Structure 1
Amino acid sequence: MSDEPAETFYSEERWQNWLTRVEEEELDPENEDSARLLINLQDDAAIAVVKVLTAFDDDRIDEELAVSKLGEIREIVLAQVEFEDEEKTILIDGVQTSLVPVFYAAEEFIIAGESGDAPVDEYIAAAADAEASEELDAALSYIVQAGTLIIAGEELDMSIAEELEYGLVAEWVNGLDSLQSALSDPEVVEED
């Protein structure tokens, strides 16, 4: 297609550079620099998602291409990672888990716009209830709906995260926080 924009939103190489840094560094989640590296890696992927949303919003790409680009980024970022250091594998797995609703919310927003009219925190509370009942598909669905609202400009108050039990919903809300940061400041996170 000659009319396809030559815009690259994310690349395998970019993700690999982050993974290489994670592999090379001494990671201690309690250490601020280690935590910052993981947050930057997560935010960087969220920024790529926001770039797709922006290109779609500006009519630089159509719905089909936007969904396709999101799928490409998702495949890169959510591909299974195996480090020799099992703890690092677990840390990256946590980042990937956090990013799952970011991809789905962006896709949902492109296809259907924002969903629902309840506030973001109500969707998150509903997700937490669903997780407590082991209804994980429903929980993810609520988080994705919250994500579409955040994309539409609603505010995610991260104090709600303090009330969540540690689990998937807490990780997903962490991803929504990255999405919100990327939307408010879609500047590229420097890899070095």
Structure 2
Amino acid sequence: MSTPPGEYYTEERWQNWLERIEEEEVDPENEDSARLLLNLQDDAAIAIAKIITDYEEGPLDEETALEEIDDIRQIVLEEVEIDDEEKLMLIDGVQTSLVCVFYAAEEFVAEGPAAEGTVTDYVEAAADAEAEEDLDAALGYCVQAGTLIIDGEELDVDAAAELEYGLVSEWVNGLDSLQTAMSDPEVVEEEDEESE
């Protein structure tokens, strides 16, 4: 069953996640908190994976798929208004990670997967570019890595774990969510039933 356009991800869904984060004690060292942030990220990545799948299988044409990706980008990358500085930083990290996911999805729909190289090649090139403070090139390499992940290549988690903390490691973190979403596009439960 394909998802009707405009229903892949909604403003309300994103706001529900933000409200949960606002209400709960969030400590990235705490497993439940870390999972909440990861679920927020994975949930958006799953919506992107569904758009790509519907594009590849036919219900969506290129223009509609790109519009749907852009709609989710507008929702997720909108400035968040939460008073807690630490929570804002954590959500900002999720948004940064997802930037690369949106670009990779758009690139894949518009141009297809990178013609040569491996995911690891591109991630290493991105890390080198970041070290030279060429962030546009670094993002470009991560996007190419993302198109290959969408195409079924694997991200080497060990290599990703060795990255210096910075924008490339954040973007690769997003690509990890994208890889998970492409292999298992199951919806993350945003609310526990008992809280209804």
| TM superposition score category, shorter chain reference | over 0.9
How far apart are 1:70 and its partner, in Å?
A: 0.3
Contact kept? 2:6, 2:68, Cα under 8 Å: no
How far apart are 1:132 and its partner, in Å?
A: 0.4
Could you list the structure 1 runs, at least 4 aligned residues long, displaced by more than 4 angstroms after superposition. 4-7
User: Matched residues in 2 for 1:63 and 1:51: separation?
Assistant: 14
1:151-162 map, 5 Å? 151-162=150-161
Contact kept? 2:5, 2:68, Cα under 8 Å: no
User: Matched residues in 2 for 1:141 and 1:25: separation?
Assistant: 36
The equivalent residue for 2:59 is 60
- Which blocks of at least 5 consecutive residues in structure 1 are unaligned? none
Contact kept? 1:5, 1:60, Cα under 8 Å: no
1:35-46 map, 5 Å? 35-46=34-45
TM-score normalized with structure 1 length:
0.96
The equivalent residue for 2:194 is none
How far apart are 1:5 and its partner, in Å?
A: 4.2
How far apart are 1:7 and its partner, in Å?
A: 5.8
The equivalent residue for 1:147 is 146
- Which blocks of at least 5 consecutive residues in structure 2 are unaligned? 192-196
How far apart are 1:74 and its partner, in Å?
A: 0.3
The equivalent residue for 1:81 is 80
User: Matched residues in 2 for 1:131 and 1:51: separation?
Assistant: 31
User: Matched residues in 1 for 2:16 and 2:182: separation?
Assistant: 23
**Do the aligned partners of residues 7 and 77 (structure 1) sit closer, same or farther apart at CA in structure 2, a change above 3 Å counting?**
closer
The equivalent residue for 2:188 is 189
Deviations 1:54-112 (A, max 9, x none): 11111101000000000000000011112110000000000000000100000000001
TM-score normalized with structure 2 length:
0.94
CA RMSD of aligned residues (A): 1.2
The equivalent residue for 2:176 is 177
What letter matches 2:172 in structure 1?
V
User: Matched residues in 1 for 2:175 and 2:60: separation?
Assistant: 24
User: Matched residues in 2 for 1:45 and 1:160: separation?
Assistant: 24
User: Matched residues in 2 for 1:90 and 1:188: separation?
Assistant: 25
How far apart are 1:162 and its partner, in Å?
A: 2.0
User: Matched residues in 1 for 2:6 and 2:63: separation?
Assistant: 15
Contact kept? 2:163, 2:169, Cα under 8 Å: yes
**Do the aligned partners of residues 93 and 148 (structure 1) sit closer, same or farther apart at CA in structure 2, a change above 3 Å counting?**
same
1:1-16 map, 5 Å? 5=4, 8-16=7-15
**Do the aligned partners of residues 149 and 31 (structure 1) sit closer, same or farther apart at CA in structure 2, a change above 3 Å counting?**
same
How far apart are 1:157 and its partner, in Å?
A: 1.1
What letter matches 2:100 in structure 1?
P
How far apart are 1:6 and its partner, in Å?
A: 5.0
What letter matches 2:54 in structure 1?
A
1:130-145 map, 5 Å? 130-145=129-144
User: Matched residues in 2 for 1:6 and 1:144: separation?
Assistant: 24
Q: Give the 3-state SS of the residue equivalent to 2:89 in structure 1.
A: helix
Q: Give the 3-state SS of the residue equivalent to 1:23 in structure 2.
A: helix
What letter matches 2:145 in structure 1?
A
The equivalent residue for 1:18 is 17
Q: Give the 3-state SS of the residue equivalent to 1:20 in structure 2.
A: helix
